[in-house]
Amino acid sequence: MNICEVCGKGAMHGQNIRNQHSVGWRFRAPRTKRTFQPNLQSVRTLVGGTSRKLNVCTKCIKANKVARAI
């Protein structure tokens, strides 16, 4: 799954906006739906005295939340 096991961050939804120079509301830039995926990395940590692999987002790795959370 694409969910951080520390903070629970998951996929978000948004739009791609094409770089079209529009003149008015009638000719506005077209948009398409897209998803933003979190930057997950697998990290090996100690969980209850045993080594375990976790999928953790890079924001949690940078803030060193992996060692504190588990």
Question: The pTM is what?
Answer: 0.76
**Domain definitions of the chain by residue range:** 12-69
Q: Which residues contact 45 (CB under 8 A, 6 or more apart)?
A: 51, 52, 54, 66, 67, 70
Higher pLDDT, 12 or 29: 12
Strand partners, 17: 31
Q: Is the pLDDT of residue 33 over 90?
A: yes
Residue 15's pLDDT band (cuts 50, 70, 90): very high
pLDDT at 47: 82
Query: Which CATH entry fits the domain spanning 12-69: 2.60.120, 1.20.120, 2.30.170, 2.20.25?
Result: 2.30.170
